[in-house]
Chain A
């Protein structure tokens, strides 16, 4: 059985004076124990809202969450505030995008690591501090005992994200959600953090939901990839398959727009034309149609259904990219 089963997750924001808006629109995916699942898509496609909905962290007012999120058979969406608080940090951990603002600026790192140990393991502060030093050491922070007494601004960006990963994994949750954990970091640091995440989840058997807009991250880390567009999964495939043979024109476009070191000199990058503001609503057709190079007339008239195209792949497209169309070779980190 899957560790986490997300079924028809829908998050509707109700803004005063405008029509309700589905930021996440019937998203389903499974995460098996120890598996790394990617949620990929450009900014605004609903990745963060999906992760916040799973964690039960959406604001209390102004939105409606539908569908189910079952964790080992329990639907998290039906749990009370208190029950959810007991699970957060213990069963499900989360790492956010901006490591500086995710840490409390006025208290030392040590307190922020021990906090979660005290909360979920009932450890005393002293014992927790010893454990905390071990955790910082494990995520590759040198001189951990001294670091525990320092404040977030005294650490570098990479160190801060390492500390946050240590905190998120302190109680060994079985599922970790990482929402663009490297976006705010320098390129050289990004690779280190990804390598660290990979090592930690492999060693501990933690399942990981990796949220990113960067296919390079997916290439290095994910077993299975869900490509999100305007709140819906448009393509789902195992990583190698996706890179070898993207079927959705959006996925194809994403792959073609990755800058490549081994590309021919003078070769033009192919960014996807247009922007999300060109989208049409899903209920009138395919949201991506106005930007799609493969668009047919039907695409703006009929909503494409999600179809199983075999090999564990799902696709939502009227006119997919034909197999064999030159795609980009697999990139690796």
Chain B
């Protein structure tokens, strides 16, 4: 347990080292040449566009039980593809394809929501620790150590279970808290490195106010690793959110189109129609892969060691 904690701390701190003088344009130029980055960007873009336009793209209403599908539902049989229903029926006689499409919205909202909440809380802690140092730093970092010491999914489950009634908001909060210590440590490490940088010393030698030093000179130069981590966090948040729904810790409304929930409901029909499990699972994996590829290539392109 101790070893994994140290290991994770070190990983986060190493990442913080990559902060600094990287320039966005330079990073972008290098990314546009990397096939990994392009694949990641295409997957992410496709996901975001699908999610935004899902209501218009969905051929059927995802929440309606269509009589022509329902009447064919039998124990041991779920209707397959047929005209008008690309992937056939789900277990309740709704259009599986439309539900799959619309579910991308939930993932986008929860993924982005959780990442933003995690970023805001984590960055607030990180800036405070990095700017004040001393006991403020020690106290805040002990707090993040506690969060980091619990395996992330277990932490999300515990937090989600604290709420008496699950909802989209509680899922966002639970998933966000998992990323808080990572953002906090990362930003703190980068800020500390900036504190000893020449340009911060030069600004201090001009009598520039402390708040200006923190927000104009330290923070903007510390954002590189945080941006990378945010991209990667989008992937893990989507997976964690799906996992919570799968475990029944999300919004209890059974009508919701959500990949984790769909996966959970499909279990009883696995022998009858394995696609009901396969498609939502594939969707989660592909989207998470897209964000991860994008994040990793972003990290590589921002890493000064890879500069030529």
Q: Please list the residues of chain A having a beta carbon within 8 angstroms of any beta carbon in chain B.
A: 55, 57, 85-90, 93-94, 96, 98, 101-107, 111-112, 115-116, 119-120, 151, 153, 164, 167-168
Contact = CB atoms under 8 A, between A and B. Distances in A.
Interface string B168-206: 000000000000000000000000000001110111111
Given A105-B23, A105-B221, A106-B220, A119 B206 contact: yes
26 contacts: A57-B204, A85-B207, A88-B204, A88-B205, A88-B206, A89-B205, A89-B206, A89-B207, A93-B206, A94-B202, A101-B198, A102-B199, A103-B202, A104-B216, A104-B217, A104-B220, A105-B20, A105-B221, A106-B221, A111-B216, A119-B208, A120-B207, A151-B23, A167-B206, A168-B205, A168-B206
A168 B216 CA distance: 18
B201 A104 contact: no
A107 B220 contact: yes
Nearest to B212: A115
Residue from the set A86, A102, A151, A164 with the largest chain B CB neighbour count within 10 Å? A102
Contacts, number: 75
A167 B204 CA distance: 13
A98 B207 contact: no
B272 to A, nearest CB: 57
A93 B209 CA distance: 15
Nearest to B216: A107
Given A105-B21, A106-B220, A57 B205 contact: yes
Contacts of B209: 85, 119
Interface of B: 20-21, 23, 197-199, 201-210, 212, 216-217, 220-221
Given A87-B207, A89-B208, A57 B201 contact: yes
Contacts of A87: 207
B74 to A, nearest CB: 64
Nearest to A96: B202
Contacts of B21: 105-106
A56 to B, nearest CB: 9
B206 A116 contact: yes
Nearest to A167: B206
A164 B201 CA distance: 13
A205 B206 CA distance: 19
A96 B198 contact: yes
Contacts of A86: 207
A311 B72 CA distance: 113
Contact of A102 (B198, B212, B216, B221): B198
Nearest to A170: B206
Contacts of A89: 205-208
Contacts of A116: 206-208
A89 B201 CA distance: 12
Contacts of A101: 197-199
Contacts of A105: 20-21, 23, 199, 221
A179 B205 CA distance: 12
Nearest to A86: B207
A139 to B, nearest CB: 16
Nearest to B223: A106
Going nearest first, the 6 A-B pairs with the smallest beta carbon separation are: A89-B207, A89-B206, A88-B207, A101-B198, A102-B202, A94-B205
B32 to A, nearest CB: 19
A115 to B, nearest CB: 6
A91 B242 CA distance: 60
Contacts of B198: 96, 98, 101-102
Nearest to B133: A60
A269 B87 CA distance: 87
B133 to A, nearest CB: 9
A104 B209 CA distance: 15
Contacts of A93: 205-206
Residue from the set B199, B208, B209 with the largest chain A CB neighbour count within 10 Å? B199
Contacts of B212: 115, 119
Given A104-B199, A107-B216, A119 B205 contact: no
B22 to A, nearest CB: 8
Contact of A90 (B201, B207, B221): B207
A279 B80 CA distance: 88
Contacts of A57: 201, 204-205
Contacts of B203: 104, 112, 115
A26 B78 CA distance: 91
A81 B17 CA distance: 29
Contact of A104 (B23, B204, B210, B221): B221
B220 A164 contact: no
A123 to B, nearest CB: 14
A168 B207 CA distance: 11
A57 B212 CA distance: 17
A89 B220 CA distance: 23
Nearest to B22: A105
A168 B201 CA distance: 13
